[in-house]
């Protein structure tokens, strides 16, 4: 679509000629003869650019520029000025005009300046959109859930994100600890500063200290250069200490010092460094128990536990399962270019009844697999992993109506699972189940298990 330019000049003929020339260059141009008329046009329609004379009666180009800058900051303004007033025009560039053009001018110069202005406006707009998307990804809008248990989490996140308080996230694996940590950072005043994550369980004890605090050249074998640690990298931002329950005691002591004194020394260094870092820590462990056992420092626990947030397991927010499932389905189908649009009632019932030991991550993986295997637009129960049907929640509280059929179902599920884990190799499957290969073979026949299907499923 062609770009629209608003031309403002009290010399009627000049404005009209300029507008016609711009039309010839492929723009949609509107000519007006006063700043007031320009503002009226801007209120009516969207313009991509304003081209205005500096000297206008009543309200001049400077006043118009200010008005446009404050009300439509995304619209670039180019000033046209008589040669004698170029100095004023330069001032206007300082006030936010994109550029100025001195009279008399060649239409080519006008056209080149307009093109530059529009290109820059595009870049700024794209940048803002990307930024918006990036922030959108982490804002509360990404935290899907409407159950009472999850609304409590959102409330706590809202309460704490504006502050600098240390947050301790506790929850089973896959309950969204990292996602919540990011939401806290990206909704905090530190959002423009770094978010740095360190998984304390994934880094060997010998390296964790230098990972967190950095080291100087020659501090230990292998330290061939100076290295900045994660604390320094997160300066001004947020440091996410994941699996804090696995942090070795000596490093806990050093962490305690950073929290208390806001300073640390890189490994092998003599100079102390200060940092301004907001801490968010997470663990799936019961740290209080670890304190009782002596594997976690009590003083550090109190320092971290300033604002604890407990993330509920998915089985305790079953109301959210359909919502999350639909959210992942839309996201994954789009990413994979599939047309899957919804779930059959049987599939939804199975998902809601399952207890999701791997929580939201497991649900995400389940939907991902279903989107791949589903042959129709609706995801049906057979598209879901077998696990959903082999350990139904609360099963043990209910007596089976037909014990033999129930035992057969359990036997079949175990055999299919063992075959799947052993790629269909029966000797191995038998070993996994602790039975003889012959016995496995008999059972497969008795239960009518189709080998190809069992493994492919
Ligand atoms: N409320 C939510 N809404 C949408 N997606 C979520 C939500 N919570 C978690 N997820 C998604 O679930 C997955 C697991 O979340 P995350 O990695 O944050 O969990 P975690 O608690 O850090 O797990 P672990 O302890 O295993 O590291 C991610 O793909 C995340 O985007
Ligand atoms: Mg995690």
Q: Which of 72, 101, 132 is the last residue before a domain boundary?
A: 132
Name which residue sits closest to atom 8 of ligand 1, judged by CA: 176
Query: Does residue 364 have its Cβ closer than 6 Å to ligand 1?
Result: yes
Please give the full DSSP string across 409-435, using - where no structure is assigned.
HHHHHHHHHHHHHTTT-HHHHHHHHTS
- Residue 442's domain is classified under what CATH number? 1.10.8.60
Residue of 79, 118, 124, 121 whose CA lies nearest to 100: 79
Which residue out of 179, 197, 313, 331 has the highest number of ligand 1 atoms within 8 Å of its CB and is therefore the one to mutate? 179
The total number of structural domains in the chain stands at 3
pLDDT given for residue 41 in this prediction: 94
Separation CA 31–CA 47 (nearest Å): 12
- Looking at the structure, tell me whether residues 121 and 183 fall in a common domain: no
- Tell whether ligand 1 has an atom less than 6 A from the beta carbon of residue 182: no
Domain match, 162 and 304 both? yes
- Which of 282, 310, 338 is the last residue before a domain boundary? 310
Please tell me which residue, 102 or 139, carries the higher pLDDT value. 102
Q: Please give all residues whose CB falls under 5 A of ion ligand 2, grouped by chain where several chains appear.
A: 178
Q: What is the pLDDT of residue 199?
A: 93
* CB-based contact 291:245 (threshold 8 Å): no
Angle at 123 between CA 122 and CA 128, to 5 degrees: 100
Residue with tokens 């046009």: 41
Biggest CA–CA distance in the chain, Å, is 103
Same domain for 373 and 226: no
The residue-averaged pLDDT of 230-251 equals 94
Is there a single domain that holds both residue 253 and residue 202?
Answer: yes
Q: What's the CATH number where 224 sits? A: 3.40.50.300
Does 173 contact ligand 1 (Cβ within 6 A)?
yes
Same domain, 155 and 232: yes
pLDDT tens sequence across 353-402: 899 999 999 999 999 999 989 888 899 999 998 888 875 554 455 566 77
Task: Say how many Å lie between the CA of residue 179 and the centre of ligand 1.
Answer: 6
Pick the last residue of a domain from 269, 285, 310.
310
Atom 25, ligand 1: residue with shortest CA distance = 173
In this structure, the residue with its CA closest to atom 13 of ligand 1 is 361
| 144 CA: nearest ligand 1 atom | 3
Residues 287, 147: one domain?
A: yes
Q: Output DSSP code: residue 320.
A: G
How many angstroms is it from 325 CA to the middle of ligand 2?
20
274 pLDDT higher than 60: yes
CA 259 vs. chain centroid, Å, equals: 27
Q: Does the predicted TM-score (pTM) go above 0.85?
A: no
Same domain, 274 and 197: yes
Task: Identify whether residues 202 and 154 lie together within a single domain.
Answer: yes
Residue 162 and residue 225 share a domain? yes
Range of the domain at 400: 316-456
- Kindly tell me the burial class for residue 257, based on how many C-beta atoms sit within 10 Å of its own C-beta (0-12, 13-18, 19 or more): middle
pLDDT tens-digit map of 1-22: 689 999 999 999 999 999 999 9
- Which pLDDT tens digit goes with each residue over 48-94? 999 999 999 889 999 999 999 889 888 999 999 887 778 888 888 88
Question: Tens digit of pLDDT for each residue in 316-334?
Answer: 999 899 999 999 999 999 8
Q: Which residue has the tokens 């239409």?
A: 107
Please give the number of the atom of ligand 1 that sits closest to the Cα of 327. Answer: 4
Same domain (yes/no): 123, 236:
no
């Amino acid at each position: 679509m062609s770009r629209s330019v608003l031309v403002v000049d009290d010399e009627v003929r000049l404005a009209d000629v300029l507008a016609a020339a711009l039309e010839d260059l492929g723009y949609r141009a509107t000519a007006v003869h006063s700043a007031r008329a320009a503002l009226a046009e801007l209120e009516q329609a969207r313009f991509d650019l304003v081209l205005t004379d500096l000297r206008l009666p009543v309200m001049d180009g400077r006043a118009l520029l200010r008005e446009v800058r404050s009300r439509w900051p995304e619209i670039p303004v180019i000033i046209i000025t008589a040669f004698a007033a170029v100095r004023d025009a330069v001032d206007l560039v300082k006030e936010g005009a994109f550029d100025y053009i001195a009279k008399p001018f060649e239409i080519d110069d006008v056209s080149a300046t307009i093109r530059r202005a529009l290109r820059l406006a595009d870049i700024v707009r794209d940048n803002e959109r990307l930024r918006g998307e990036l922030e959108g990804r982490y804002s509360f809008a990404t935290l899907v859930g409407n159950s009472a248990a999850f609304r409590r989490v959102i409330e706590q996140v809202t309460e704490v994100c504006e502050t600098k308080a240390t947050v301790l996230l506790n929850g089973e694996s896959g309950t969204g600890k990292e996602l919540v940590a990011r939401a806290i950072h990206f909704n905090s005043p530190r959002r423009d500063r770094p978010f740095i994550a360190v998984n304390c369980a994934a880094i060997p004890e010998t390296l964790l200290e230098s990972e967190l605090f950095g080291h100087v050249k020659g501090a230990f074998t292998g330290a061939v250069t100076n290295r900045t640690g994660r604390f320094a990298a997160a300066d001004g931002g947020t440091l996410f200490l994941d699996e804090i329950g696995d942090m070795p005691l000596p490093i806990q002591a050093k962490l305690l010092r950073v929290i208390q004194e806001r300073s640390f020394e890189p490994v092998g260094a003599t100079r102390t460094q200060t940092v301004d870092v907001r801490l968010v820590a997470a663990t799936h462990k019961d740290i209080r128990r670890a304190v009782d056992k002596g594997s976690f420092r009590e003083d550090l626990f109190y320092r971290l536990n300033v604002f604890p947030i407990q993330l509920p397991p998915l089985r305790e927010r079953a109301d959210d399962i359909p919502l999350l499932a639909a959210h992942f389905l839309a996201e994954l189908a789009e990413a994979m270019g599939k047309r899957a649009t919804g779930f059959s009632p049987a599939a939804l019932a199975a998902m809601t009844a399952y207890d999701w030991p791997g929580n939201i991550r497991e649900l995400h993986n389940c939907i991902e697999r279903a989107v791949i295997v589903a042959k129709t637009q609706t995801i049906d129960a057979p598209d879901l992993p077998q696990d959903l049907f082999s350990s139904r929640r609360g099963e043990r509280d209910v007596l089976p109506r037909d014990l033999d059929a129930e035992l057969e179902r359990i036997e079949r599920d175990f055999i299919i699972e063992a075959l799947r884990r052993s790629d269909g190799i029966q000797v191995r499957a038998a070993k996994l189940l602790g039975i003889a290969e012959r016995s496995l073979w008999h059972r497969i026949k008795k239960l009518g298990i189709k080998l190809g299907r069992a493994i492919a499923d």
